[in-house]
Amino acid sequence: MKKILVIRFSSIGDIVLTTPVIRCLKNQLQEVEIHVLTKKKFSNLYKTNPYINKVYEFDDSLKRNIEELKIENYDYVVDLQKNKRSVRVTRALGRPHASFPKLNFRKFLLSTFKINIMPDIHIVDRYFKAVEKLGIKNDDQGLDFFISEKNNYDISQLPENFQKGYYAFVIGGTYKTKILPAVKIVEIIKKINKAVVLLGGPDDVERAEEIIYGVNETTRQQDNEGSKNSQILNLVGKINLEQSASIVRNADSVLTNDTGLMHIAAAFHKNIVSVWGNTVPELGMYPYLPKEKEKCHIVECKDVRCRPCSKLGFKECPKKHFRCMMEIDVEEVVKLMDNELYS
């Protein structure tokens, strides 16, 4: 039986974006084992994937992993990370390998000088360049995300009025310049007539409280968990990633920043309204819905000439005005959440 190692160290969204390659390797090659090398903090994203036979994980040092991986004697190594550490692994293993066009210089030109020579190709399709020599083709079935039974957040666990339908609002992100400000989310919620579930991690708790305060125009001391009669259910920092994914899976529409849950929403083929601040879709990381592009709605301020200011993000707007997010068209977001423009 052939054995293939796929390397992707991080992060949530990037790992979800590797799943089409993994699925196609497993489905299109006969009698193959798929192994993955990733960081320990992200390993559960791969451990729930039925197309993967073994997951190797590490914290800091790769020395022990390299020795273990040498014993596997892989037939092929697929590097979907393509940095110094992943190159070190592939060289140490000395097995046939391939990677993908990362296009770092083109990204630099776009984010620094606003010179756009990026190809109109999603990063998922660029990932498939790494498996071309194996004869692997993209099946165009999109992304995968698997939820373990113990972490399934059933809709029956929600307050009764949320069981009739709701929108999921992903309010967090790794960088502040990629996050729609609370004041804008408050404007959006006030204009829609539907239940809203707020999702995010521990770092987003204060922002969630600010949103609830703004919508209800009451004191910060109120019960911010929401109630059966409330329009907002605040689950920020209270459930894990897989449980948050369950909420996204059952949502009618998803409002999200450029972050990991955006890609998870794409894996569930949701109607997605993605809001873009300092980054731009042209970098190739927008929601991947190859057969349902009508479900992917991009909202951005194209007339803000300083964007993109980074391919990643910043703690604060370098120009101090944050126009790319503060000038987001709230009415457009509301219409797209209801999918009115496409009904």
Residue 83 belongs to a domain with what CATH number? Answer: 3.40.50.2000
Domain-located, residue 263: yes
Indicate if 9 and 93 belong to the same structural domain.
yes
Return the pLDDT at 225. Answer: 52
276 shares a domain with 234 = yes
- Average pLDDT of the residues of the chain: 94
Same domain, 168 and 273: yes
C-alpha 177/C-alpha 283 separation (Å) is 16
Q: Are residues 7 and 130 in the same domain?
A: yes
The whole-number pLDDT of residue 274 equals 98
**pTM of the predicted model, to two decimals?**
0.94
Same domain, 159 and 23: no
- Say whether both 13 and 127 belong to one domain: yes
Residues 130, 168, single domain; the answer is no
Q: Please say which residue of 104, 134, 164 terminates a domain.
A: 134
Residues 128 and 230 placed together within one structural domain of the fold: no
- The pLDDT of residue 221 is 40
Looking at the structure, do residues 129 and 270 belong to the same domain, yes or no? no
What is the per-residue pLDDT for 224?
53
The per-residue pLDDT for 341 is 44
> In which domain, by residue range, is 313 found?
153-342
Does any domain span residue 146?
Answer: no
Domain count, the chain: 2
pLDDT tens over the chain, length 343 residues? 899 999 999 999 999 999 999 999 999 998 999 999 999 999 999 999 999 999 999 998 999 999 999 999 999 999 999 999 999 999 999 999 999 999 999 999 999 999 999 999 999 999 999 999 999 999 999 999 999 999 999 899 999 999 999 999 999 999 999 999 999 999 999 999 899 999 999 999 999 999 999 998 743 444 555 443 489 999 999 999 999 999 999 999 999 999 999 999 999 999 999 999 999 999 999 999 999 999 999 999 999 999 999 999 999 999 999 999 999 999 999 999 987 444 4
Q: Where does the chain show beta strands of DSSP type E?
A: 2-7, 32-39, 54-58, 76-79, 97-98, 166-170, 195-199, 232-234, 253-257, 272-276, 296-300
Residue 237 lies in a domain: yes
Measured CA to CA, the distance from residue 3 to residue 217 in angstroms comes to: 59
Q: Determine, yes or no, domain membership for 128.
A: yes
Please indicate, yes or no, if residue 174 is contained in any of the structural domains.
yes
Q: Are 199 and 315 part of one and the same domain?
A: yes
* pLDDT tens digits, 43-56: 999 999 999 999 99
| Helices and strands (DSSP H and E) totals, the chain | 13, 11
Q: Do 186 and 243 reside in the same domain of the chain?
A: yes
Number of other CB atoms surrounding residue 342 within 10 Å: 11
Q: Is residue 143 part of a domain?
A: no
- Asked whether residue 286 is assigned to any structural domain, the reply reads yes
Domain limit, last residue, from 81, 107, 134: 134
Distance (Å, whole) CA 136 – CA 21: 8
Closest CA relative to residue 240, chosen from 211, 223, 261 = 261
159 and 281 in one domain?
Answer: yes
